[in-house]
Each structure stands twice: as structure tokens, then as C-alpha cells.
Amino acid sequence: QAALGKVKWTLFVGPNHNLSSETSSYVFPSATHFEKEGTFTNFEGVVQKFDKVLEPVGQALSEGDILMRLAKEIGPHIAYDCYADIFREIAINHEGFKGLSYEQLEPKGADIRTMAAPTIPALQQYDNIL
């Protein structure tokens, strides 16, 4: 609280309403991990791409979309048009990512709806709305 009292404004980016979102000057609702695409690097250093499973609810955007929109407002020298542009920038500037491209990365996973189906038999009746 003491540190927050020293700043002129705060920005919250997140998928859930909480105390931080209530007290922030600006709030950007972000999508959950099921509602966005992107990449992550696991604890073994393996870079993986993941795909969007569901559309975001309400005004939520992925953090990547939020950053790309903010970058376009700040200036064209940091404008990104897609996730591949962001990943390309990372690959150029960070040694561990050199030689990698977003387009060549493969998703390693399964559709959560398919994985959940055996444990949630009623899921099949809702498949047309998912």
C-alpha cells in the first residue's frame, strides 16, 4: 500500500476482478489461457505454442492484443501486428530464442473439451455452444 501511494496511476491487466482491479486507475480485462493464443517456455526450456480454444468473454483481450494496441498508440517504432511479430522480436533480442520462429512452433496439447468429456458426460449436449 505504501508503494502504491507513491505512484500517480496504476494499470491492472487480468482476467478476474479483485482488489487490485478495484483500486487501479486503468483496468484492461484480459482473456484466460483458454481464450488466447501464444507461446510459453516450460521449466525445461522447451518453447511451445498454444492455440485459442474459446472466444474471450465480454471486452477481454489477450495480453498480447492489449500490448499490441498500446504499442500502436505509443508510436510506430514499436508497432506489432500479430503474435508472430512479437515472437520475432524476442528471437532477435534474446539468445535462447535465436533461430526459432512462431510459424514453426507446434502446439503440444489437446482440446480441453475433448480431455474433459470422459469426466463430464453432460458436456456433449453443450458442444454446439462451446
pLDDT at 23: 87
Cell numbers placing 70: 498500446
Higher pLDDT, 83 or 127: 83
How large is the average pLDDT for residues 31-55?
A: 86
Q: Please, which residues have CB within 8 angstroms of residue 63's CB and are 6 or more apart in sequence?
A: 13, 30, 31, 36
- pLDDT tens column, 105-117: 866 533 334 444 4
**C-beta of residue 27 within 8 angstroms of C-beta of residue 84:** no
Average pLDDT, rounded, for the chain: 79
Give the bridge partners for 111, in sequence order.
none
3-state secondary structure at position 26:
strand
pTM: 0.63
